[in-house]
Amino acid sequence: MEDLNIEMNKSTGIFATSDNLDKNYDDKKSVKRNYNIDLLKIFACIAVIGLHVTQLNFELFTKLFHSLCGFAIPVFFFCSGYILCNRKFISYKYILNKIIRIVIIVFMWNFIIESMLFLTSLVNIGSYDFTITNFLSNITYKPFLQKGNTSQFWYMGAMILVYLFLPIFHKIASSQKKRWLYIWLLFFTISSIIEVLSLLFGHFIQKDIIQTFRLWTWLQYLTLGGAMTYIGPKINKIFSKKNHLIILAIYSILLIAYQYFIGSYMKTPFAEYYYDSFFEGIWIILLTSFVIRLKLNETFIKIIKILAPLTFGVYAIHKYAISLFIHFITVNSTIISLLCFIVTIVLSFLISFIISKIPLVKRLLRI
């Protein structure tokens, strides 16, 4: 997905992150790459693929796996918050530059993808309703509004909107990092209220709002990234790493079961409607704080160095890798769903890796 607002190291062309805190949490002067955040980003990227593949054939296993992958989007926003909220200063000029870069890169991806879809339709590989108006709208505003052939870029539209709040929140919280906790609690409470109201009414009340505009949800997870500098060390003192893992595993199982039964009651299993859940918020805290406290060995770090810079490309491409798979193979069983999941992961990362080796074109991977 998006570079998660990890800043580009101009000398090396790799992602540089904010300071490690508490050996991952303690604020340091030098900026070094945080491989734990990169690892979270890779997990989230793979989970996004899982979210979309499982929707092709909803059976018991794929429904449960869909819920398991539900951490993907919240974790992406968390990672953005973890990096940006811990900067020493955020100005609107800085935010404007990031927004402009997002718009340019998304436009380039849209133009390439729309052009390829049009060309493939000419040789009867696919269908494309080409008009100038349709083409222009598909490469400009529609993707940000979760419409068109590149609707997965709604996330970038949501990021642009939440970016606009960051300088204000950062000014409030910069003098005392605990204030990020209070800001996060505000949005966490709003989201929890929405979940309770949805259960009372028997339908998800946010359903008629496209994901781009569910700002209370994304601000919850974005500001959680800032609050984690306070929450993380507290969790580390309460739980050993082993107990943390056990609690995370048990909680994950219970959460998946809860979402399965609520999905049956509400007649929709889609993970996007649980992002506002009180229980989902706690899950994201347990998951992210656990990954952040891990001590990664050199072998793992080498793998992360290869995969982390490819995640935005994977996010942009995976939808079409899935389409290519189902063009040849019908996904009508759990086994085929798993095969589609694996093939999509491999193909998406492979194409992104090839792009990363091509001068100029590799800029498509950097937001």
> pLDDT tens digits, residue range 26-75?
444 334 789 999 999 999 999 999 999 999 999 999 999 999 999 999 99
Per-position DSSP letters for 233-279, written without gaps between them: HHHHHHS-HHHHHHHHHHHHHHHHHHHHHHHHHHT---GGGGTT-HH
- In this structure, which amino acid lies at residue 304? I
Question: With 0-12 CB in 10 A as exposed, 13-18 as middle and 19+ as buried, what is 12?
Answer: exposed
Measured between alpha carbons, how far apart are the two ends of the chain, in Å? 10
- Mode of pairing for the β-strands spanning 14-16 and 7-9: antiparallel
The overall average pLDDT reported for the chain is: 89
Q: What was the pLDDT predicted at 155? A: 97
The string of pLDDT tens digits covering residues 90-132 is 999 999 999 999 999 999 999 999 998 888 777 666 667 778 8
Position 25 scores a pLDDT of 40
Distance CA 79, CA 289 (A): 11
- Which of the four pLDDT bands, split at 50, 70 and 90, describes residue 19? very low
